[in-house]
Amino acid sequence: MGVRARATSAEKNVRSAAFVVFALSLLGALHALAEEARPTAPGRSVLPPPDVDSFRVRAPSPQWDVGVVLGGGAIERQDSGFGGEFLGALELDVVGLRERFREVGLGGRLRVGTLGFKDFRASLAPLLTLPLSDPVALDLSFGPLLATSGQGPLVGFEGSLGVGLRSVNLKGHYAHVHTLVFGYSQTFALGDMPPSEETIAIWAGLRVDGMWFVLPFGVIF
């Protein structure tokens, strides 16, 4: 009888301990659920995750570049038809709003040059830069054109598309640009000027950054 009584007492103690553990676990779970369901107090704020992109370095804006375009194209002159001509031009462009490679840039471009050394032409146009893949970008420009001829000035328009390397300078405002440029231009006679002076040009050229032309002088001097 004594042994059986001690066994019964031990079983009761185990059951009591198990019940206490179960009750504490249940209370802990209920407390956790209550904390999750409780609305945030006015004095407490849940901070959003940090914007990783905001920690990256942004380039100074705007950025500018000087380049030389060398190429050729098909030129139609009213008095002589189509013919191949040399193309040479000096370009200055300024691009703003583009502080990283993957951002769109907006600015302007000034281009002065010649077709076949038979005229002098200048165009000023807005410039749109679209990122393709670091550091490749697409440049689009379209604007008015002013040209000279043996009979006087000509007016017209010029549009161009360039694709290639356009850097983003994180420490300064000068960006290096090397692109393949395709263009179309057309000029119209003014006043009593004969229509034979009008031209249509479809051209292509390689735009080389002006740094390569200035670098030898920097090394010498």
For the stretch 70-108, pLDDT in tens is: 999 998 877 667 788 999 999 999 999 888 888 999 999
Cβ contacts of 148 within 8 Å, gap of 6 or more: 119, 120, 121, 154
Write the pLDDT tens digit of every residue in 25-56: 666 656 555 655 566 555 555 566 655 455 56
Q: Which helix (H) or strand (E) holds 14?
A: helix 2-37
113 has pLDDT over 80: yes
Mean pLDDT of the chain: 81
Beta carbons of 125 and 107 less than 8 angstroms apart: no
- The span from the first CA to the last CA of the chain, in angstroms, equals 115
**What is the model's pLDDT at position 198?**
86
Instruction: Choose the weakest-confidence range: 118-132, 153-167, 194-208.
Output: 194-208
Those residues with Cβ within 8 angstroms of residue 189's Cβ, 6 or more apart along the chain or in another chain: 151, 154, 195, 197, 198
Among 153, 150, 146, smallest CA distance to 189 is for: 153
Distance CA 96, CA 106 (A): 5
Give me the residue spans of the domains in the chain.
1-46, 63-220
Least confident range from 16-20, 34-38, 173-177: namely 34-38
pLDDT band at 155 (very low <50, low <70, confident <90, very high): very high
Say what the pLDDT of residue 95 is: 94
For a pLDDT cut of 90, what percent of the chain falls above it?
A: 44
Neighbours of 6 (CB within 10 A): 10
Spatial distance between the Cα atoms of 70 and 68, rounded to a whole number of angstroms? 6
Lowest mean pLDDT among 4-8, 112-116, 165-169: 4-8
63-220 has which fold? Porin (2.40.160)
Residues paired with 89 in a beta bridge: 69, 113
Q: Between the ranges 15-19, 58-62, 202-206, where is the mean pLDDT highest?
A: 202-206
